[in-house]
Every structure is written in C-alpha cells, then in structure tokens.
C-alpha cells in the first residue's frame, strides 16, 4: 500500500499542505487522497493544475505514481487538520493505449482548459514589461524611473513604449521638468505640453509646436520592443481598481486620441496612407473622426459626475455600530 | 471553416500569408497575438471578445472589414480568456463562412487555442534553419492538438522544396517574396488546398 507523508505550514492565514505519496509496489498505482480540510488547489492561469481537475466535491485528488517512485501533491486551505489528508485507495491504473510518440510536442491536454493551463501564457513575457498597473489590483512597484517619468508631464496619457526605450540622455532634462510643477496631478495639462523632455520648460512656454508629438517623432523604440503599450504612466487612475468595462473604454479613448494625433501629424503622403490603411481604411477613419468628436463631451460629463460622487462619498459615513444596534 | 496560420518562429511572414489567405477566401481574419496588435485598433479587439464584453459577430461588423485585430493593452490581454476562443471562431465561421486565424510566434496558449479550434493548419516557414526548427515545433503541437496540417507555405522561394514538406509532414507551396497580392499563385494554391481539405469539417 502506498505511503502518504505530509508537512503543513501556516502562512498569511492559510495552511499550505505538502503531501508525498510513495509507491512501494511493483506496478504503477492510481492513488486517491482525501483532504480533511477545504481545498484551494494550485492553479495555472486560473485553471486548476493537472490532477486537481479531478477533485471531487468530497475533496479527493488523484495522483498516478510509477512503481518505486514518489509523487508530490500540494494545496492550500483556510483550515488546519492533523493529518491534513488521508489515503483513500490505490488501484492499478486502467490500461490505456500508449499515445503516439510525437517529436518535441509539449505535454498539453487536448482541451481548452488544457491549452490555457499547459502552454505558456499568451501576450508579452512579464519580464519584458516594466511593473505597471493593470487595473487588477497589482500594487504598482516603485521603480527608479517612475519618479522622473511622472514628472515628465509632457508624455501623453498611455504613452508609447516601455520606459527602457526613453533615451537616457533625456534623463537630465526630465528632471528639469519637475521644476515646472509637474507631478501626479499633471496629466490634465498634457494636451498643452510638447511631450518628451526635449523641451523641459515646456509647460506653457514651449517652442512653436504645441501639439503632442506623433509616434514618428517620439524616441525610437528598440526594434523588438512592441509599440504602443497602454498602462499607468502618469495616469491618475494608476493603482485604482477600475472595472474592466471602464478601463477598456478609457483605453479606447487613448487609442483614438493617439491615432488621430498621428494622422494629423502625418499630413499627406505615404505615412498618412499607411496610417489610414492600418486603421482599416477611409470608412474606419471617418468613424474615428466621429468618435473623437464625441469623446471630449462624454469624458467631461463623466468627470463632472465622478467629482460630484466623490464629494458625496466623502461627506457621508456609515454610523459606527449601526449594524449591531438594529434588531 | 476555420484555418489557423502559424509559423513557430517570428518574422517568417505568418501575418502576411494569413492576411492574403483571408482576403482570397473572403474570410474573417482574427489575430490572437494578445496585447501585441500591430496598429491601434479602431474598433473592438479580440481581447474584448474573449473577455465576453462584445459579441463576436458584432465586433467584426463594428471594426475594419472582416478583421478582428489584437489590441495593445496588457490589461485587456489579462482579461481575455482563450478558453472561449473555439466557440467564438465557430460563431464567426457560421456567420461569415470562413475564418483565418493569424497566430503569433512561439507555442503559447495564443497558438494552442486556435490550433485546437481549427479544422486545418497552414504552417508558414522560410528556407533557413531557425525558421524550420520553429515550424517543426508548431507542427508537433498541431499534431498533438489534432489540427490537420494542410500545407506548408514556404516564403521567399520561387519553387517548393519537397524535403521541407517531408520534414514537416505536409505538401509545400512556394510563396515568393512580395508575391502575396492577387493573383498570387502561391496564395491561390493555399486557398484551394484549404477549401478542399477543410470545408468538409
């Protein structure tokens, strides 16, 4: 009969359970283990990890152990028990057709859950992207660059390119921008400033052009850096857990503003043609124009409503003890 | 009919071939390179559809012609659920007749989910070692996920190289450099093969 061993430790209000199952017989065994406490299984991209997908309502997990081998199983639980789990039974696994050997195929289950769980996450690797708020409650990390870039009130909201793409020679000029009173509250003035720090004293007294720089004028991103990331930057909603619909609407606004600015900057000629084509053709650009015309009014009305609600929320307070006093 | 285009290695021309093939088949072109859209999306993105916020057919109608692009927001990508991709692609195929999926490079879930859903797969590669290694890995993933390999699009050559086809497990179609606009014979050959091999599904 296979042996079950365990260790538990308590951390941050949760019990972490580590089980090992050792198979000391000659053949493989399919071992069922029942937890005495509620199970929070390990997850990969939100999907319970392989083996845990079979956890039944009565907290049973299944693990296959080859002869003479040991396998581990881990989970978390809000409660504690000693022992945390017990062996239910251990049967020889049902005979299965050997799968066709496929050269170099990743071990992935042929289901939607399997694909999401067993293959790498879609999207850029996290290491390639500086820490940023994604509206999902991720705490924004302090980074050495976050100070100067915040002070760079000139960068439009949803500024393009990761921080690493900023030309280091601009660093000194960015610091000068701090003297103009730029800071977290500054984004409201972005429409008037001239973008990156090539004109650090820009807030108001910049040179001739007072439009945000187009993507073509911004410092070139490195070749394999994706263009046009939207994330916090100097955005007042940084660190705020916005509902996805709101966050997406704001992202859409930023995209429209950027695209309209690029089209304006491109004037006529091949760059404009390319932009129009990339946007989806003249029809899409007409629709864009309409939406860009509507956006300011909607945004200002939303801002006014949000201000009003903020004032009301600040002024009201739930009386202490009211929940206990009422019958 | 749902066709996935994948290359394994980036930069071989997967997106170009996918777009040309979608055009030729009058299919909807869906990108799954989450958060890595190549241009700012004017209409709804594939991430929004995968997050359940926009209905698939509505998203395609609201955006540029028969194109459901990827967006450029990390937040959007994190909300997207690739487990929903198969029913979304099926709905689009029912409404519009055919869907071509432009898969990103690599072997991520953004490649696996389309392969799982597809009736067939076109592998895109180039005649260099790195590209072929990438294609071999995607071919293995496609077989594991039961996505029939229909053809290999060998980009940048004038004539097909049968040895490549044997290594990857599907006949080769040559797509010479720059020759993807109509009446490209390479794209036509791919379209015909796809229609004959996949439409019965």
Q: Which residues of A touch B109 (CB under 8 A)?
A: 45, 115-116, 119-122
Among A244, A258, A287, the residue with its CB nearest the CB of B40 is A258
Alpha helices in chain A (DSSP H): 112-118, 146-151, 171-177, 202-205, 244-266, 270-279, 282-315, 322-325
Question: Using the beta-carbon criterion (under 8 Å), do A122 and B110 form an inter-chain contact?
Answer: yes
Tell me how far CA of residue A113 lies from CA of A45, A312, B82, B86, in angstroms.
Answer: 9, 45, 9, 12
CB contact under 8 A, A116 and B137: no
**Chain B: nearest CA to A135, how far in angstroms?**
7
ipTM of the complex: 0.89
| Token output for B54 | 């926009």
Q: Which of B42, B79, B86 sits opposite A112 (nearest CB)?
A: B86
Determine the residue of chain B that is closest to A292 in CA distance: B42
Contact B97, B59 (CB under 8 A): no
Q: Which of A106, A123, A244 sits opposite B35 (nearest CB)?
A: A123
Spacing of C-alpha B147 from chain mean position: 12
Kindly state the average pLDDT of the residues B12-31.
Answer: 96
Candidates B43, B64, B109; nearest CB to A122:
B109
Q: B83: helix, coil or strand?
A: helix
B6 vs A contacts (CB less than 8 Å): none
User: Does the distance separating the beta carbons of A123 and B136 come in below 8 Å?
Assistant: no
On whether the pTM is more than 0.95, the answer is no
Task: Report which DSSP code applies to A65.
Answer: E
| Residue among B126, B136, B2 nearest A106 (CA) | B136
Tens-binned pLDDT, residue by residue, of chain A (327 aa): 889 999 999 999 999 999 999 998 888 888 888 999 988 888 877 787 766 655 656 788 888 888 888 988 889 999 999 999 999 888 888 776 555 444 567 789 999 999 999 999 888 876 666 665 444 333 333 333 333 333 333 333 333 433 333 333 333 333 333 333 333 333 333 333 333 333 333 333 334 444 444 444 444 433 333 444 434 345 677 667 777 778 878 888 888 888 888 888 777 777 788 788 777 778 888 888 888 888 888 898 899 899 889 888 888 888 877 777 666
**Residue A3, Cβ neighbours under 10 Å: how many?**
13
Residues 6+ apart with CB under 8 A from A137: A241
């Amino acid at each position: 009969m296979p042996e079950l061993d365990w260790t538990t430790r308590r951390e941050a209000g949760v019990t972490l359970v580590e089980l090992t199952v050792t198979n000391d017989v000659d053949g493989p065994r399919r071992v069922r283990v029942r937890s005495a406490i509620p199970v929070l299984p390990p997850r990969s991209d939100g999907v319970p990890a392989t083996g845990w997908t079979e956890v039944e309502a009565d907290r049973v997990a299944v693990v296959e152990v080859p002869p003479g081998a040991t396998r581990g199983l881990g989970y978390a639980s809000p409660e504690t028990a000693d022992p945390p789990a017990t062996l239910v039974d251990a049967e020889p696994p049902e005979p299965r057709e050997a799968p066709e050997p496929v050269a170099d195929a990743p071990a992935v289950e042929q289901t939607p859950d399997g694909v999401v769980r067993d293959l790498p996450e879609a999207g850029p690797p996290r290491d390639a992207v500086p820490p940023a708020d994604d509206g999902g409650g991720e705490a924004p990390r302090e980074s050495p660059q976050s100070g100067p870039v915040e002070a760079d009130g000139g960068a439009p909201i949803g500024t393009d390119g990761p921080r690493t793409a900023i030309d280091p020679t601009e660093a000194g000029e960015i610091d000068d921008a701090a003297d103009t009173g730029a800071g977290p509250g500054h984004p409201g003035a972005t429409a008037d400033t001239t973008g990156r720090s090539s004109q650090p004293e820009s807030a108001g007294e910049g040179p001739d052009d007072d439009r945000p720089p187009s993507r073509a004028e911004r410092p070139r991103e490195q070749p394999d850096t994706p263009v046009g990331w939207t994330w916090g930057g100097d955005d007042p909603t940084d660190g705020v857990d916005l509902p996805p619909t709101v966050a997406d609407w704001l992202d859409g606004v930023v995209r429209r503003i950027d695209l309209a600015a690029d089209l304006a900057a491109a004037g006529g000629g091949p760059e404009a043609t390319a932009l129009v084509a990339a946007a989806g053709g003249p029809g899409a650009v007409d629709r864009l124009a309409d939406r860009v015309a509507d956006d300011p009014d909607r945004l200002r009305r939303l801002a006014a409503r949000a201000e009003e609600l903020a004032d009301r929320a600040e002024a009201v307070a739930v009386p202490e003890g009211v929940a206990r006093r009422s019958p | 009919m749902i066709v996935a285009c994948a290359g394994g290695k980036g930069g071989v021309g997967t997106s170009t071939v996918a777009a040309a093939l979608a055009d030729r088949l009058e299919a909807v072109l869906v990108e799954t390179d989450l958060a890595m859209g190549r241009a700012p999306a004017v209409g709804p993105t594939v991430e929004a559809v995968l997050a359940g916020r926009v209905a698939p057919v509505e998203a395609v109608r609201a955006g540029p012609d028969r194109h459901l692009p990827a967006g450029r927001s990390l937040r959007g990508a994190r909300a997207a659920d690739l487990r929903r991709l198969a029913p979304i692609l099926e709905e689009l195929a029912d409404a519009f007749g055919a869907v071509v999926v432009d898969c990103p490079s690599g072997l991520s879930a953004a490649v696996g989910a389309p392969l799982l859903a597809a009736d067939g797969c076109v592998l895109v590669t180039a005649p260099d070692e790195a590209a072929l290694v990438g294609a071999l890995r995607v071919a293995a993933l496609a077989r594991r996920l039961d996505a029939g390999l229909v053809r290999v699009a060998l980009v940048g050559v004038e004539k097909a190289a049968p040895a490549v086809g044997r290594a990857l497990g599907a006949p080769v179609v040559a797509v010479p450099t720059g020759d993807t606009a109509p009446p490209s014979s390479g794209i036509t050959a791919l379209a015909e093969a796809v229609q004959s091999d996949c439409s019965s599904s």
